[in-house]
């Protein structure tokens, strides 16, 4: 398993595996994220936290700054003409209220609870009042029998913290009002949760 995880650090291997293990996920996610983008307020300065080698947000017309802990992934991201920064999600190198929106797609299951909570707080902190924070993560099926293929794949994921919906929701800042949408996003039944927060305060 360790060898496989090492191979996945290579951007091309990572992308090929994504296509193989979750067929149709790219298009389905783009559709879902496109709908969310229509709901969120304007402004083009966006973050993609835990961006990997490419951003799903490119498919919905956003040009986010990519943030990732992996030097190889941020390098691959930048080679495609986009700005990227090597940083950890729990200590974002951006000033308070300095971006219009902060998105994260498939990051939280790589982080233990305390770091995941801190990462979400960092996204909220970096977003301007009236801007939006969008969190998407995969969900562990409620039982192995619901979808044995996806259950097993989730259990073997590099990210050791794949969560049920209830646990994922519990990581989000409790004082804030999040909107949730559970989505099925691959041809083999991967499910995920989209969580959207409009940050309180004036947009002026
Ligand atoms: C499952 S991948 C998702 C990548 C991309 N968002 C996508 O949907 O294809 C998780 C990403 O989170 C990054 N990551 C893991 N821990 C991180 C951390 N503490 N801070 C920032 N990025 C992190 C990994 O390097 C990896 O690129």
Which tens digits make up the pLDDT trace of 48-72? Answer: 999 999 999 999 999 999 999 999 9
- The alpha carbon of 12 and the centre of ligand 1 are apart by a number of angstroms equal to 15
For ligand 1, whether the C-beta of 98 sits within 6 Å is no
95-105 residue pLDDT tens: 999 999 999 99
- The alpha carbon of 204 and the centre of ligand 1 are apart by a number of angstroms equal to 32
The Cα 153–Cα 1 span in angstroms is: 12
Nearest CA to ligand 1 atom 26: 52
For ligand 1, whether the C-beta of 88 sits within 6 Å is yes
Average pLDDT across the chain, whole number: 93
- The alpha carbon of 69 and the centre of ligand 1 are apart by a number of angstroms equal to 7
Tell which atom from ligand 1 comes closest to the C-alpha of 136. 8
pTM: 0.94
Is the CB of residue 120 less than 8 Å from the CB of residue 47? no
Q: For residues 10-25, give the mean pLDDT.
A: 85
- The alpha carbon of 203 and the centre of ligand 1 are apart by a number of angstroms equal to 30
For ligand 1, whether the C-beta of 51 sits within 6 Å is yes
Enumerate the H helices of the chain as residue ranges: 2-8, 11-21, 25-39, 71-79, 113-126, 148-156, 165-170
């Amino acid at each position: 398993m360790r060898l496989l995880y090492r191979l996945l650090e290579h951007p091309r291997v990572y992308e090929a595996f994504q296509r193989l293990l979750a067929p149709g996920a790219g298009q389905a996610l783009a559709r879902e994220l496109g709908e969310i983008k229509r709901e969120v307020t304007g402004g083009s300065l966006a973050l993609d936290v835990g961006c990997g080698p490419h951003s799903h947000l490119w498919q919905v017309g956003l040009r986010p700054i990519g943030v990732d802990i992996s030097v190889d992934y941020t390098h691959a991201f930048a080679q495609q003409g986009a700005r990227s920064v090597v940083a950890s999600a729990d200590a974002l190198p951006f000033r308070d209220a300095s971006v219009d929106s902060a998105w994260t797609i498939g990051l939280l299951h790589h982080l233990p609870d305390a770091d995941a909570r801190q990462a979400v707080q960092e996204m909220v902190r970096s977003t301007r009042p009236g801007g939006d924070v969008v969190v998407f993560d995969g969900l562990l099926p409620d039982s192995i029998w619901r979808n044995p293929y996806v259950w097993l794949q989730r259990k073997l994921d590099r990210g050791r913290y794949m969560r049920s919906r209830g646990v994922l929701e519990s990581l989000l800042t409790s004082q804030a009002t999040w909107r949730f949408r559970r989505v099925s996003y691959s041809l083999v039944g991967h499910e995920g949760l989209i969580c959207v927060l409009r940050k309180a305060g004036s947009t002026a």
